Amino acid sequence: MKKTYYLFNPGRLSRQDNTLKYTAYDEAGAEGQTRFLPIEDVADLYVFGALDANSALYNFLGKNGVSVHFFDYYEHYTGSFMAKEYLLAGRLQVAQTGHYTSLPKRLVLARKLVEGAAFNLLKNLRYYQSRGREVGAEIAQMELYVAALPHATTIAEIMGYEGNIRQTYYRCFEQLVRVPGFTFDKRSTQPPQNELNALLSFGNMLCYAACLSQIYHTQLNPTISFLHEPGSRRFSLALDMAEIFKPLLVDRTIFRLLNKKEIQPRDFVRELDGCLLKETGRKTFVRVFEERLKETIQHRRLNRTVSYQHLIKLECYKLTKHLLAMEEYQPFKAWW
């Protein structure tokens, strides 16, 4: 399987001999070791540091179907270079748009997406409940919201429930992470106010980019979404997909990192009015997140092992089938 490469150090990426050459710089601007990345082995690139590159490189990446995701200093996802669409399907495009413009059809999908997300969130809480954390009240509260979902008649209402479910879920965070130095009052973004919020923002962003990469390899149009409002200049379908996988990919990763003390308060930097991950923290996070994506589970219906990364793609296929009226979409629910 092709690999994802994460570029943290500032450096220059160039095309040489029909493959990729990466030269790292140090602070003084002196060139470090060069590495050749085999183009046939690169799935996508995540760029966190300063990267020098020219259009010849992007032409080359485009031809080889490698997308590049960019993140700014404050760890926000800033955008992607996406290779030319290689899987085009007019019929699906029309169906996807149709499902967006028709409110009843859109409601069905939006509801299912929230239902799937809520199920996976509850799964996380139940796991910790079985380990003696007091989260019973929150679980009951979240179940009430889920039960109310089928009665929602507008997208805004569904989004409201989604927000309520998450808010209730976040209330448990302090219970789940019992590590000194990490407190959680409420979810805050742009900028995150404390360490846990910084981790959540960083993780959600990685999850968003991972979903986008998988959508690219299907025939779905990443700009037309169902739960979130399709905005301009953003791939909102990736937000829809990320909703379902965040509890498994991001939250579980965070709990592991903190409870095993792999990330500690010293991996953060407090600045002006926010809190950010330092490079050491980012690298640790990315390493564990990557492991998580590669982790495999036994798929019941396919009867073989699949990785979490592949699960995202399978989710896209299910959505495609629903759009083409072949099989009703059932959101992914963690069964283990």
Partner 1 sequence: MYVILVYDMKQQRVGRMLKLCRRYLHWIQNSVFEGEISEVKLAELLAKARTILKEEEDSVILFKSRTHQWLEKQVVGRERSPLDTIL
Angstrom CA distances, 313 to 16, 215, 306, 319, 331, stand at: 32, 7, 11, 10, 13
Residue 171 phi/psi, 5-degree rounding, is -60, -25
* SS3 at position 58: helix
265 scored as a contact of partner 1 (CB under 8 A): no
| Contact pick of 27, 29, 40, 233 for partner 1 (by CB under 8 A) | 40
Number of residues that bind partner 1 (CB under 8 A): 25
Contacts of 288 (CB under 8 A, 6+ apart): 253, 256, 257, 262
Euclidean distance between CA atoms 11 and 34, whole angstroms = 10
Q: Write down the least CB distance from residue 39 to partner 1, Å.
A: 5
Question: Among residues 49, 59, 82, 116, which one has the least CA distance to residue 214?
Answer: 82
Contacts of 87 (CB under 8 A, 6+ apart): 217, 218, 219
DSSP character string of 159-178: HHHHHHHHHHHHHTHHHH--
30 scored as a contact of partner 1 (CB under 8 A): no
Place of tokens 């889920």: 146
287 scored as a contact of partner 1 (CB under 8 A): yes
H or E element that contains 13: strand 11-16
Return the DSSP state at 22.
Answer: E
202 scored as a contact of partner 1 (CB under 8 A): no
283 scored as a contact of partner 1 (CB under 8 A): yes
In the bound state with partner 1, the residue whose beta carbon lies nearer, of 44 and 240, is: 44
41 scored as a contact of partner 1 (CB under 8 A): yes
Q: Write down the least CB distance from residue 20 to partner 1, Å.
A: 9
| Contact pick of 26, 31, 38, 266 for partner 1 (by CB under 8 A) | 38
Q: Write down the least CB distance from residue 306 to partner 1, Å.
A: 16
In the bound state with partner 1, the residue whose beta carbon lies nearer, of 16 and 183, is: 16
| Contact pick of 107, 239, 286, 316 for partner 1 (by CB under 8 A) | 286
33 scored as a contact of partner 1 (CB under 8 A): yes
H or E element that contains 71: strand 67-71
| Contact pick of 31, 36, 94, 185 for partner 1 (by CB under 8 A) | 36
* Site stretch for partner 1 (CB under 8 A), options 68-76, 82-90, 154-162, 280-288: 280-288
Q: Write down the least CB distance from residue 61 to partner 1, Å.
A: 14
Assigned token pair, 113: 């997406």
Residue type at 22 in one-letter notation: Y
In the bound state with partner 1, the residue whose beta carbon lies nearer, of 72 and 279, is: 279
272 scored as a contact of partner 1 (CB under 8 A): no
Residue type at 205 in one-letter notation: M
Q: Write down the least CB distance from residue 31 to partner 1, Å.
A: 14
H or E element that contains 32: strand 31-37
Contacts of 28 (CB under 8 A, 6+ apart): none
H or E element that contains 201: helix 195-216
222 scored as a contact of partner 1 (CB under 8 A): no
Q: Write down the least CB distance from residue 118 to partner 1, Å.
A: 33
In the bound state with partner 1, the residue whose beta carbon lies nearer, of 285 and 329, is: 285
In the bound state with partner 1, the residue whose beta carbon lies nearer, of 8 and 58, is: 8
Contact mark string toward partner 1, 4..23, x via CB under 8 A: xxxxxx-x-----xxx--x-
Pairing of strands 42-47, 67-71: parallel
Q: Interface with partner 1 by CB under 8 A: which residues?
A: 1, 3-9, 11, 17-19, 22, 24, 33, 35-36, 38-41, 283, 286-287, 290
